[in-house]
Amino acid sequence: NAGVTQTPKFQVLKTGQSMTLQCAQDMNHEYMSWYRQDPGMGLRLIHYSVGAGITDQGEVPNGYNVSRSTTEDFPLRLLSAAPSQTSVYFCASREFPLNRVLFSPLHFGNGTRLTVT
Amino acid sequence: KQEVTQIPAALSVPEGENLVLNCSFTDSAIYNLQWFRQDPGKGLTSLLLIQSSQREQTSGRLNASLDKSSGRSTLYIAASQPGDSATYLCAVGTLQGGSEKLVFGKGTKLTVNP
């Protein structure tokens, strides 16, 4: 049981390049999400998904796209990288109870450290 | 807008000391509160989750309390060890615009000195 796996661990991009950050979980969690963590800003939600085929925007969605074709995978795409997207990106997942009210603990991957020059 | 504050930003204690980390939030309409631990270069690990109907949760040497009316939570660590050194974050779960959302504090960096 690997939990939440993120690849790559490190990435350097030039301004304007595109790339996809991969996230996979093997816990059959319905809910998956992407956060970015910046010094002094804390963790901010980029996009999230409550099941295959369903995605929604979080607090800072601009410049990022997501899709959820399977329960296991939730890739994050940077369309045209900018220096402001230099950050550490975390994928997280949790169970999503049918009552849609009670949260369950959030499980995080180890992050992708992205630098855009 | 929900805001979560953790004070102090950093704390250094000698090994064996009992300590309390603080978390405060501005809107008491929360569904739960979670405490996480983050080691350098790693993701967050969930330590304790308190539902809004609960007052506290315990796991080993950790005890988290929740007082919704005052907008406060504390994480109590008993008999601290050097291995407890990490950044501790709290996050409150809310519903905003019909969507579930976790709002994180910026964390308290704890150093336990041998």
What does the pLDDT average to over B81-109?
89
Give B107's pLDDT tier (boundaries 50, 70, 90). Answer: very high
Tell me, what amino acid is at B109? K
What does the pLDDT average to over B44-58?
93
Residue A91: closest C-alpha in chain B: B43
Given a cut of 50, the residues of chain A with pLDDT beneath it are: none
Within 8 A of B9 by CB-CB distance, chain A residues are none
pLDDT digits (tens, 9 = 90+) for A76-92: 999 999 999 999 999 99
Between B94 and A116, the higher pLDDT residue: A116
In this prediction, residue A105 carries a pLDDT of 85
Q: Do residue A110 and residue B93 have CB atoms under 8 angstroms apart? A: no
Distance from C-alpha of A116 to C-alpha of B21, rounded to nearest angstrom: 35
Contact between A54 and A69 under an 8 Å Cβ cutoff? The reply is: no
Q: Give the CA distances from residue B1 to residues B4, B95, B103, B108, in Å, rounded to whole numbers and listed in that order.
A: 10, 11, 10, 22
Contact between A107 and A35 under an 8 Å Cβ cutoff? The reply is: no
In this prediction, residue A97 carries a pLDDT of 63
**Residue B97 in this model has a pLDDT that exceeds 70:** no
In this prediction, residue A40 carries a pLDDT of 82
In this prediction, residue A42 carries a pLDDT of 86
State percent of chain B over pLDDT 70: 96
**Residue B100 in this model has a pLDDT that exceeds 80:** no
In this prediction, residue B64 carries a pLDDT of 97
In this prediction, residue A101 carries a pLDDT of 55
Q: Give the CA distances from residue B5 to residues A62, A67, A96, B71, B77, in Å, rounded to whole numbers and listed in that order.
A: 26, 32, 27, 10, 19
Candidate from A56, A58, A105 with C-beta closest to B46: A105
Q: Do residue A43 and residue B93 have CB atoms under 8 angstroms apart? A: no
Distance from CA of B95 to the nearest CA of A (A): 9
Within 8 A of A108 by CB-CB distance, chain B residues are 36, 43-45
Give B98's pLDDT tier (boundaries 50, 70, 90). Answer: low
State percent of chain B over pLDDT 90: 82
In this prediction, residue B11 carries a pLDDT of 96
Judge if the upstream peptide bond of residue B8 is cis by omega within 30 degrees of 0: yes
In this prediction, residue A99 carries a pLDDT of 58
In this prediction, residue A96 carries a pLDDT of 75
